[in-house]
Structure formats: structure tokens, C-alpha cells
Structure 1
């Protein structure tokens, strides 16, 4: 078996590997990797394990270099999951050993693997990746296996059912739209205002501008829009891959929150997932201090699933250079928890 780093890969072989992997979510997909490459303006890379002409497994990653050192993420950009795609123990071990060697031989400030919450191989990372820190996170996810709309409806908390009914009584209309021209600008502006009101960081405009250039609507994603009296009041972007739906980006007009357009929007999105026979509706990560958001997701019958950040790196060098310099040099990359650098 040979493991090498490359930025060129046979996409047909990669897609076949992904299609046979239970834990391969949207974040591992070729289109998402290409999307990251376009908006980050950094070439994608892979640790590729092969034998003769056969692709055995790989680990996608991006790296960024500054005078502070090199930061490696599998994967970067707002907590995208990464890690290896390989089902054989020896392949998994060989890929992680190759990353360990890369970390040792290069001027690496931080090297981070964000392991999918759907991975069955956490113990492999624990044993063979030489990490310095480990951080636990959680997602909230609806299990759609063998669920009908009626069954799922009955699992929702009463407050969620009430909210959906209220939105329906307010004659909220839902449609799927193509993100281009005026519609993508409205979505971007609503997202930006929404994040600013919460003190969060909005996604760059290039994210919105490239959506329709990389992904195919109805196949890879949908952008749902809620309207009240002809006016756009909320959006929801969902991505699809294998068995998974990613509740990726909601945005809404906070002044019209009481109309419950977001509740109707989300319910229509979930019904679409059921119709298309997806198995998981992933609400994504929720911080422990986001109590209101946690309760919101829990109300939709979403269950907690842990996942982990495995971080190799030189924390003292990061502290010496300071948090603001880290943020400036490694935008859209995870280096260390900010609490450790302060």
C-alpha cells in the first residue's frame, strides 16, 4: 500500500468510494470539496491510499501557510466534517500515520481533523492520530428511518406543532427557488442581517454567488423560501448527499418572526426529505451555551449525537502570536479553541 499527498484525484473513483461509505456526508462530496476550493481560493489536497491502480481510501484536507506556520484542516469552513473515507483498518491506520508524519516534518502550527458524528471509527483516531487536544461537540439530528409524516408529526413537541399550525393559518406560502440574481441577493442580505443581530459571523458573498455554479438544484440542494403577503420573510438552504440532508443555513426577518414562517418552511423541508427517502435530517452543531437554539431543534424530535475535533499543534506558539493575528492569518480555518489562545 502506498500513501501520498496529491491535489489531483480521479473523481469517478472518489465518487464510487463515497457511494459505498455509510459515513460519507455532503461535506466529503466532490462538489463540496470543489466548492470550498473556489470560495477559499486554496487548492484541495488529499492523503490517498492506493495499491496498484486501486483507490483504497483517502483523507481530504486544505492547508494555509503564514509566517506563523501551517494550519491543516480536514475540513475547513464553519465546522465542515472531514476525516478519512476508508473501511479497512490498515488503510485507516496508514492514512493517519501519513498525516502524523506530515505534521512532524513540516512547520505545522495546527492540524485538525473534524470527525463526522456519523463515523464508526472514532476509536481509530483515538489510537493512531497523534493529537494534542480533543474537543467534544454535538449535533442534533432527526432519524427518518421508516418514518411517515404522521409518525414524525406525533414525535414533535406540542409547541412545534402549534407553531406550524400558526404559520399555516397566517397563509405562509413555501416555494423552492433558484439562487440567482435578485433572489440570491435577498438571501444573502437576510442572512447577513440575521447573523449581525446575533453577533455571529456571516458567510462570504462568494458562498452565495457560487452556489448555482457548483451544485445542481433538487439534486444537490434546495433553497426554500417562505413568503407572507407576497414578501420574502425566511429562507432555508438544505444540501443532500447519500442518506443525509444537511439543514445548512436558515435566514429570516426577525421583525416577522411571530408569523412562524420558519416553522412552516422547516416542516416543508422535512416532508421533502421524507418523500425523497433520506434517512437523516442533520440540524448540525449546537454550542452548549446556545440553549434557545438547542430547545428549538430538540422540539423537532432531533437527538443529540457527539462528535470530536482532534487537534495536533503548538499552542504556546499560537498564544505568543495572539488571537487577533491567528484570526487574520487563518480565516475560515480552525486552529485552536479561542479560549486556549486568550
Structure 2
């Protein structure tokens, strides 16, 4: 098998979308994050430029490795992808998947090394279980094992507490709407920003959120749900879509209205819509820890745990990253996993 590796450009978007749509009907690893619209969102956030790699066999697109790079005065970083979670890695069908994974991963590492990068990180795909190619190509990588949560929409059964919260929310008069206008976009983003401030979470730029609320994205790659009580928006939920998997992206709730359980009602509606569209999996993304309230909330829905890994290939010494320090790394390379912070401490 002759494999040809090339970098995808914007002019290849139609071919990339067709490939993802086809593979996404068979693989839950294809997520909304891998489509051109989200590539543009990442770029708009200032995370750098796309350098997605494709593997062709006999001229046909057979696998892709979504990737970004950011160049700074301190050096470049490469990643698949910026932001965090089981949202990247090599996307390939079952035939010759190992060979295609190896070729693409090796090419990304070589590109990063040639660019003088300080590091290159790769997150393994959602619900992937075979990491042999990653181990082979990056034997010296610093590997971080992580967990995520998800729902199998064909088999999941919600807990009694979820059913109670849904009845309570409806009894209190909370309603859900998917109609979008400028006023609702403003209210949604305002709620989201307020929640981020309350929880100390970095805020995504408004332009990025607006791109996912655009009518061309809504319905196909994203969906948004608003919860109202007495005419006031008290919650919102933005999800990203692929053929088989729906990803929980931006939830937000008015603090003084949490007792109305708008988030629970919105998730239930989004899950019912996902099933109606033929989706099989609900991707919760990762949580801070198994002890966190976020993890426990997801568990109430009947979530299962999946595992993923972060492979970090440094091209500088450990001392180099220690000298940079945590704050400097975060300032230079926002959105990227550049070096495990727990290894920066002297022992």
C-alpha cells in the first residue's frame, strides 16, 4: 500500500467534510470538532493556524489527523487539537488503520521537529482503545492517562433523580425553545460569560460562539437550546454534532434559577433530538475529577467512563520547561498542552 501524506487546505473542505460524514456513520470518534466550521472557530480564538494532515491511498482520502500549530517568539507548538479532551488523533477506517495512523503521526512529529517546535501533543480519539501506533511513533513521549464520560443512547437508563428533576422543571413552568434571534444570542452569551466568571473558567471569544450560532452551522454541525421561565432566559445549551456523536459544548444557567433545573430539561431535549437524528453517543467531555460535582452530575444520567491519552513529545529538556514556568507557558501557548505542569516541580 502506497501512502501519500499531504497537508489539507481550505480548498479541500468539501472533500474533508464528505470523508468525515462517511466515516462518522461508522465511527463515534468523528466529532463536530473535526469539521471545517470548528477549525475556523479555533483560528478565530487565536489558537494559531490549521495544519491538518491527510493520508491518501491511490489518490483517495483514507485518514486525517486534525492539527494546529502556533508560532511565537519563544518557538512553535503543534497539537491535535488545541483545547482539551478526547477530541483529535488520527481518524481512519478499519482497513489498514494502523499503517495510516503510523504514517500520519510520524509526519506530524517530523513537521513539528522541522519547525523547531518546543513540543507536540496528540490527544487520542473519543472511544478509541488501541494506542499501539501512538506508542510506536512516540516511544519517548510523556503520556498522561485521562478519563471521559459518555452515554450510549441506545442502552442508557436515567436515574430516578433525573426523572424527578425533569418533572419538577416542567411543573414549575420551564419551557424550551430552539428559535434563535439576536436578542437570544446576546442573552445566551451573557449567561455563559457570567457562569465562566463564577467558576473561574476562561471565556471563549464571542466571535467563536457566534460562528456556531450561525444559521449555516445550526442544525447540521451545532444545535442550541434555550430555557425560559416567565419570559426570561434562565439557561442555554450549545452542542456540536457529527453523524454518530453529539458533544456537550457550552451549558449555562442563571445562578438564581438553578432550582428550576433548566440544565436538566435542556439536556433531555437535546438527547431526544440526538436519538431522533440517529446519533448513538452523547459525549460529555472530561471532568476535573471523579469527586467533582460535574462528574457526579453526569453520572446521574447513567454515564459510562471511557479513557483517552495525551501524548506529549517535548523537543526541549525538562529544565527548559521548568525555566519557562507554568504561567509563562500558559501565556505563550494558550489552549495547548505543552508540558505536564506536575512535572515542572523540582523533586
Q: Which residue of 2 aligns with 1:174?
A: 176
What's the RMSD between the two structures over aligned residues? Answer: 2.1
> Which runs of 5 or more structure 2 residues have no equivalent in the other structure?
none
2:81 maps to which of 75, 79, 83: 75
Tell me, in whole angstroms, the C-alpha distance in 2 between the residues paired with 1:62 and 1:81: 13
Residue 252 of structure 1 and its aligned partner are, at CA, apart by 0.4
Residue 284 of structure 1 and its aligned partner are, at CA, apart by 1.1
SS in 2 for 1:107: coil
> Which runs of 5 or more structure 1 residues have no equivalent in the other structure?
none
Matches within 5 A, 1:195-210: 195-210=196-211
1:335 maps to which of 323, 333, 338: 338
Q: Does 1:193 align with 2:199?
A: no
Q: Which residue of 1 aligns with 2:68?
A: 62
Tell me, in whole angstroms, the C-alpha distance in 2 between the residues paired with 1:253 and 1:230: 13
Tell me, in whole angstroms, the C-alpha distance in 2 between the residues paired with 1:264 and 1:57: 38
2:56 maps to which of 25, 30, 50: 50
Q: Which moved more, 1:278-287 or 1:12-21?
A: 12-21
Q: Does 1:116 align with 2:125?
A: yes
- The question of whether the paired residues in 2 share the 8 Å contact of 1:156 and 1:301 is answered with yes
Closer/same/farther in 2, CA of residues 237 and 20 from structure 1, 3 Å limit: same
SS in 2 for 1:10: helix
Which of structure 1's runs of 4+ aligned residues deviate more than 4 A?
Answer: none
1:85 maps to which of 82, 91, 107: 91
Q: Which residue of 1 aligns with 2:232?
A: 231
Closer/same/farther in 2, CA of residues 330 and 215 from structure 1, 3 Å limit: farther
SS in 1 for 2:311: strand
2:160 maps to which of 158, 161, 171: 158
Tell me, in whole angstroms, the C-alpha distance in 2 between the residues paired with 1:214 and 1:337: 39
Tell me, in whole angstroms, the C-alpha distance in 1 between the residues paired with 2:13 and 2:247: 22
Q: Which residue of 2 aligns with 1:250?
A: 251
Residue 334 of structure 1 and its aligned partner are, at CA, apart by 2.1
SS in 2 for 1:177: coil
